[in-house]
Amino acid sequence: MKIIKVKNPAEGAQKAFDIYQDALNHGVKVLGLATGATPIALYEKLSDSTLDFSNVTSINLDEYLGLDGNNEQSYRYFMNQHLFNKKPFKKSYVPNGISENHEAMAVQYDQIISENPIDLQLLGIGRNGHIGFNEPGTPFTSTTHVVNLTQSTIDANARFFENESDVPTQAISMGIASVMTAKNILLLAYGADKADAVAATVNGPITEQVPASVLQNHKNVTIIIDEAAAMKL
């Protein structure tokens, strides 16, 4: 793992931007993307740049079940707002939160991933070490699947909703095995509340109890962390 320590999230966004600029300049074809607070500053920089994504396909990690793309809390909406409306991609895939058959949709999503091998996968990390919505205990062999969110994740996501009762309790997520197929992985983590998860990811045992620890098994992982997130390393 290559660890890049930065002073603050703004510097992290700049370092991440440089990685994307370089990837685009080298003809990257498929980007795996994430939502959440962490990548917003990066998406802002990408949106304001002159980079051209019209030949790039994007594949997002996850989506809440029960929310359609017009719902402001959906991840499809988030991606449109923060990136796709300003930077059109050749094609952008986000799991469908309102499909009639979630299992069939999951199989189809894995098919999309295998037809569009991910060159660079962006990840955030949950306070419990989740990546995508792969919660602790998710098998490392998992492919795209329906997830029952843990209370810790529901609590963390509540900040984006008016009422806690509006926070979805289920999501559909790329699996850990799906994430691990990416040629390169870039994980961003900022803030003291990520420090335990970062330490367990980098120095802890590789265990399904800390989903991100699987990244120790991947050859090309870069982690950008600020001082607060690096506190326990």
**Residues interacting with ligand F6R, by CB under 6 A?**
34-38, 61-62, 124-126, 130-133
What distance in Å separates the CA atoms of residue 96 and residue 171, rounded to the nearest whole number? Answer: 10
Given the residues 60, 62, 63, 102, select the one marked as catalytic: 62
Given the residues 82, 102, 130, 145, select the one marked as catalytic: 130
What is the spatial order of strands in the sheet that 30-33 belongs to? Answer: 2-6, 221-226, 184-189, 120-123, 30-33, 57-60, 91-93
Compute the least distance from the CB of residue 189 to ligand F6R, in Å: 8
Compute the least distance from the CB of residue 153 to ligand F6R, in Å: 7
Nearer to ligand F6R, 23 or 179 (CB): 179
Residue with tokens 């994307």: 20
Q: What is the CA radius of gyration of the chain?
A: 16
SS3 of residue 75 by DSSP: helix
Compute the least distance from the CB of residue 205 to ligand F6R, in Å: 21
What distance in Å separates the CA atoms of residue 67 and residue 157, rounded to the nearest whole number? Answer: 14
Nearer to ligand F6R, 22 or 155 (CB): 155
Segment holding 25, helix H or strand E: helix 9-25
Given the residues 60, 116, 128, 184, select the one marked as catalytic: 128
- Whether 62 is a known active-site residue: answer yes
- Whether 130 is a known active-site residue: answer yes
Given the residues 119, 135, 208, 226, select the one marked as catalytic: 135
By Cβ distance, which residue is nearest to ligand F6R? 124
- Residue numbers annotated as active site: 62, 128, 130, 135
